[in-house]
Amino acid sequence: MDLVHAYFPGFFMMFLRISAVIFGVKILGTTMDSKWARLALALCISGILFAKNPSLLTYPTPIHMGLVAAREVVLGLFIGFCLQLILITLRLTGTLIGHEMGFSMAQVMDPTTGLNSPVMGRFFETLCFLFFLNVNGHHKIFEIMSQSFDDIPVGEPWNLAAMKDGLIYLVTQSIALSIRIASPVYAMLLLITTTLIVMSRAVPQVHLMDFSYALRILFAFLGMLWFIGIAGPYIYQIFDTFFTGAEEIVFQLGEL
């Protein structure tokens, strides 16, 4: 019983951080029907990592323990958000392409959140998730969780300036990579739009509105079929950028 009282605070803090990471990343979904599965996963990972690095922590008052617990949750949510940017990048790519296709008003229910999301954004997010599983990205998430306890031990303070700088860097990279990946299909659709405008001026008798919308969608899907065939290295670059960035940020957070 004495061992339980001695080691429980450290295990509980580790469980809070890991739970925050898992709930921040779409590993098992984000709807309430999967919360018990995610809690069980967090409990199992916490047990494994606690056996690797047991922490003997004591707190003078419950208020002090609550503050440390809140800090661990914030740190876990931050790490989870950094990893979630992988899916957000591809969703933004699909949203940009879908807007130019004329699908800006088309929405589909996201089964993981229960909210409406753009059709093409959801398509690219699903594509990203398949690539993510293909390269065992979930294993990398577990490695980053383990590394976070090596660089930032449970209950230790961390560098807030590194959090701010890291967040700015990853969000900037997310926007830049999404635009870079969407640019080929987006440019092709802009070229088709320009061609249709010139045709409407040159041949006013042709009713372009009768087929221009379908033509843009057709060329957009042909462009995406071509894109999927060569997109592998670029999507892997997204994984490498955010995994490496998350590891570097976690390391810098522990540097006071």
Half-sphere exposure of 121 (CA within 13 A, CB side): 22
pLDDT band at 18 (very low <50, low <70, confident <90, very high): very high
Name residue 153's amino acid: P
The distance in angstroms from the start CA to the end CA of the chain is 36
Q: Do 30 and 144 form a contact (C-beta atoms < 8 A)?
A: no
What percent of the chain clears pLDDT 90, i.e. is strictly above it?
2
Mean pLDDT over residues 199-217, rounded? 72
- What's the pLDDT band for 163 if we cut at 50, 70, 90? confident
Mean pLDDT (whole number) for 19-44: 78
Q: How confident is the model at residue 28 (pLDDT cuts 50, 70, 90)?
A: low
pTM: 0.83
Compute the distance between CA of residue 174 and CA of residue 89 in angstroms, rounded to an integer: 5
Q: Are 55 and 153 within 8 A, CB to CB?
A: yes
Once rounded to an integer, what is the mean pLDDT over residues 171-196? 84
Structure tokens at 65: 């323990």
- Residue 109 per-residue DSSP state: E
Question: What is the pLDDT at residue 172?
Answer: 92
Domain ranges for the chain: 76-254
Residue 29, pLDDT above cutoff 60: yes
Is residue 178 pLDDT above 60, yes or no?
yes
E strands, 196-235, in order: none
Query: Per-residue confidence at 155, pLDDT binned at 50, 70, 90?
Result: confident
- Residue for token pair 């690539």: 131
Which segment of 10-24, 25-39, 229-243 scores lowest on mean pLDDT?
25-39
Sign of CA dihedral 235, 119, 179, 75: negative
| pLDDT, the chain, mean | 80
Secondary structure class of 203 (helix, strand, coil): coil
| CA dist., res. 155 & res. 162, Å (int) | 18
